[in-house]
Amino acid sequence: MDEKKIQKKLLDFAKKRDWEKYHNLKNLAISISIESSELLEIFQWIEDKNINEHLRDKTFRKRISEEVADVLLYLLRFSQIANLNLEKICLDKIKINEKKYPINLSKGKSTKYTDLNVLKKKYEK
């Protein structure tokens, strides 16, 4: 994915419609949340065991694809305005998560890192 190419296209899209004035960090953060919620809403009443079946349906895939794209587009626009290097911040966050979730404490578990730290302290005694 060429994020700069997409960001340039998004900026051009906004400029042609005189929407730049609405694209501030607060509004974009709100939009990210709204679009994420719209993606979540699609899955709201689907049982886990039925998700793969739904993924084979073209209409369902189109709906989730559009919502994923909306989330990503707002994230790209947000990062452009905030001057964030997406590759760097993502790689940095992975390093942080590697420390929060050491393999020996987190492998095969969905435990939150704060609870893993409690386990770690318990084992260190």
123, 106: one domain:
yes
77 CB-near residues (< 8 Å, 6+ apart): 7, 10, 11, 14, 23, 28
Task: Give the per-residue pLDDT at 107.
Answer: 87
CATH number at residue 34: 1.10.287.1080
68, 17: one domain:
yes
- Count: domains in the chain: 2
Q: Over 60: is that where the pLDDT of 125 sits?
A: no
pLDDT digits (tens, 9 = 90+) for 20-53: 999 999 999 999 999 999 999 999 999 999 999 9
Task: Give the per-residue pLDDT at 10.
Answer: 96
Q: Give me the domain span that covers residue 76.
A: 1-84
94, 58: one domain:
no
22, 78: one domain:
yes
68, 116: one domain:
no
28 CB-near residues (< 8 Å, 6+ apart): 74, 77, 78, 81
- Asked whether 30 and 71 are in contact (CB, 8 A), the reply is no
The angle formed by the CA atoms of residues 16, 12 and 10, to the nearest 5 degrees, is 120
Q: What is the DSSP letter of 101?
A: S
